[in-house]
Amino acid sequence: MEYVQSTDLKPSCIDWPVHMQRALDLAETVLTASPNPRVGCVLVRGGQVISEGWHSAAGAPHAEAMALEEAGPKARNAIAFVSLEPCAHHGKTGPCSEALIAAGVATVVIPMQDPHPAVSGKGIAQLEEAGVEVIMMVDFEEAARGINPGFLSRVERGRPRVRIKLAMSLDGRTALSNGGSKWITDVASRKDVQLLRASSCAVLTGVGTILADNPSLTVRLDEMGLDADQIKTNALNLQNPPLRVVLDSTLRTPAQSKLLEAEGNVLIYSTASAQSAELVALDSCTLKVAGSDARVQLLPVLKSLASEYYCNDTLIEAGPTLCGAFLRANLVDELILYVAPKLMGSDGKALLDLHGIQTMADTPTFEVIEAQQLERDVKLRLLPQV
pLDDT for res 82? 98
Q: Rounded CA gap, 384 and 317, in Å?
A: 17
pLDDT at 230 over 80: no
Its pTM stands at 0.91
**What's the average model confidence in pLDDT over 320-338?**
96
pLDDT tops 80 at residue 349:
yes
**CA pair distance 210, 249, nearest whole angstrom:** 13
Kindly list the domain boundaries of the chain, sorted by start residue: 2-147, 156-385
Residue 279: band (very low, low, confident or very high) from pLDDT cuts 50, 70, 90 = confident
Average pLDDT over residues 79-93: 87
Would you say residue 178 has pLDDT above 90? no
Say whether pLDDT at 333 is over 70.
Answer: yes
Mean pLDDT, residues 334-342 taken together: 96
Lowest-pLDDT range of 10-14, 181-185, 235-239, 346-350: 235-239
* pLDDT of the residue at 236: 65
Give the separation between CA 161 and CA 147, rounded to whole angstroms. 12
Does residue 238 surpass a pLDDT of 80?
A: no
The angle formed by the CA atoms of residues 92, 93 and 94, to the nearest 5 degrees, is 135
Give the per-residue pLDDT at 114: 94
Phi, psi (deg, nearest 5) at residue 26: -65, -40
Encode pLDDT of 358-384 as tens digits.
Answer: 888 888 899 999 999 999 999 999 999
What's the chain look like in SS3? CEEECHHHCCHHHCCHHHHHHHHHHHHHCCCCCCCCCCCEEEEEECCEEEEEEECCCCCCCCHHHHHHHHHHHHHCCCEEEECCCCCCCCCCCCCHHHHHHHHCCCEEEECCCCCCCCCCCHHHHHHHHCCCEEEEEHHHHHHHHHHCHHHHHHHHHCCCEEEEEEEECCCCEEECCCCCCCCCCCHHHHHHHHHHHHCCCEEEEEHHHHHHHCCCCCCCHHHCCCCHHHHHHCHHHHCCCCEEEEECCCCCCCCCCHHHHCCCCEEEEECCCCCCHHHHCCCCEEEEECCCCCCCCHHHHHHHHHHHHCCCEEEECCCHHHHHHHHHCCCCCEEEEEECCCCCCCCCEECCCCCCCCCHHHCCEEEEEEEEEECCEEEEEEEEEC
pLDDT digits (tens, 9 = 90+) for 99-157: 999 999 999 999 999 999 888 899 999 999 999 999 999 999 999 999 999 999 999 99
Is residue 222 scored above 80 in pLDDT? no
CATH architecture type of domain 156-385:
3-Layer(aba) Sandwich (3.40)
Catalytic positions are 64
| pLDDT over 90, % of the chain | 69
Question: In this structure, which CATH number among 3.40.47.40, 1.10.10.10, 3.40.50.300, 3.40.140.10 belongs to the domain 2-147?
Answer: 3.40.140.10
The Cβ-side half-sphere exposure at 88, using a 13 Å CA radius, reads 20
Position 221 scores a pLDDT of 78
Reading phi first (left if > 0) and then psi (alpha if -120 to 50, else beta), residue 269 is in beta
pLDDT of residue 321: 93
Mean pLDDT confidence for 294-299: 92
pLDDT of 206 above 90: yes
- Identify the weakest region by mean pLDDT among 37-46, 317-326, 340-349: 340-349
pLDDT of residue 327: 94
Return the number of other C-beta atoms located less than 10 Å from residue 381's C-beta. Answer: 16
Provide the percentage of residues in the chain whose pLDDT is more than 70: 98
List pLDDT tens digits, range 31-82: 899 999 999 999 999 999 999 999 988 888 999 999 999 999 999 999 999 9
Across the chain, mean pLDDT equals 91
Are the CB atoms for 114 and 82 separated by under 8 Å? no
